[in-house]
Amino acid sequence: TQLLEQSPQFLSIQEGENLTVYCNSSSVFSSLQWYRQEPGEGPVLLVTVVTGGEVKKLKRLTFQFGDARKDSSLHITAAQPGDTGLYLCAGGGNSGGYQKVTFGTGTKLQVIP
């Protein structure tokens, strides 16, 4: 069974601070996705990384895929209240030739104005 552990589980910070969320596994994934989910809604895809060591930036968000494709990080610069939500990493892989996506345990972020 592939498991993805996220840390921290909860994070409450002041507006303007920086933060990093980690996603770790003992398994290798062919791709790694990050989602943000707001209460009462489904997760919304932020980014997909597929190459070990890959770094992608989305405005104030920086995503990195580990060299061994077992871990990833999400760094937010100058957090804003609109960044509040549940952040989920998800590892993608093939199972019998079909898509298999495993979600992490989640990081709940609260940005206080």
Residues near other proteins (CB under 8 A) are: 1, 4, 6, 30-31, 33, 35, 40-45, 48, 50, 86, 88, 90, 92, 94-106, 108
Q: Is the Cβ of residue 15 or residue 41 nearer to other proteins in the bound state?
A: 41
**Residue in the structure block whose two tokens are 């890959």:** 54
Q: Is the Cβ of residue 18 or residue 105 nearer to other proteins in the bound state?
A: 105
- Closest approach, Cβ 11 to other proteins, in A, equals 13
* CB-neighbour burial class of residue 19 (10 A; exposed 0-12, middle 13-18, buried 19+): middle
- Closest approach, Cβ 69 to other proteins, in A, equals 12
Q: What one-character-per-residue DSSP string does 36-84 give?
A: EE-TTS--EEEEEE-STT-EEEETTEEEEE-TTSSEEEEEESS--GGG-
- Closest approach, Cβ 36 to other proteins, in A, equals 11
Q: Is the Cβ of residue 6 or residue 72 nearer to other proteins in the bound state?
A: 6
Label the pairing between strands 61-65 and 55-58. Answer: antiparallel
Q: Is the Cβ of residue 58 or residue 101 nearer to other proteins in the bound state?
A: 101
Give the pair of three-digit tokens for residue 64. Answer: 């990195």
- Closest approach, Cβ 86 to other proteins, in A, equals 7
Distance CA(69)–CA(51), nearest Å, equals: 7
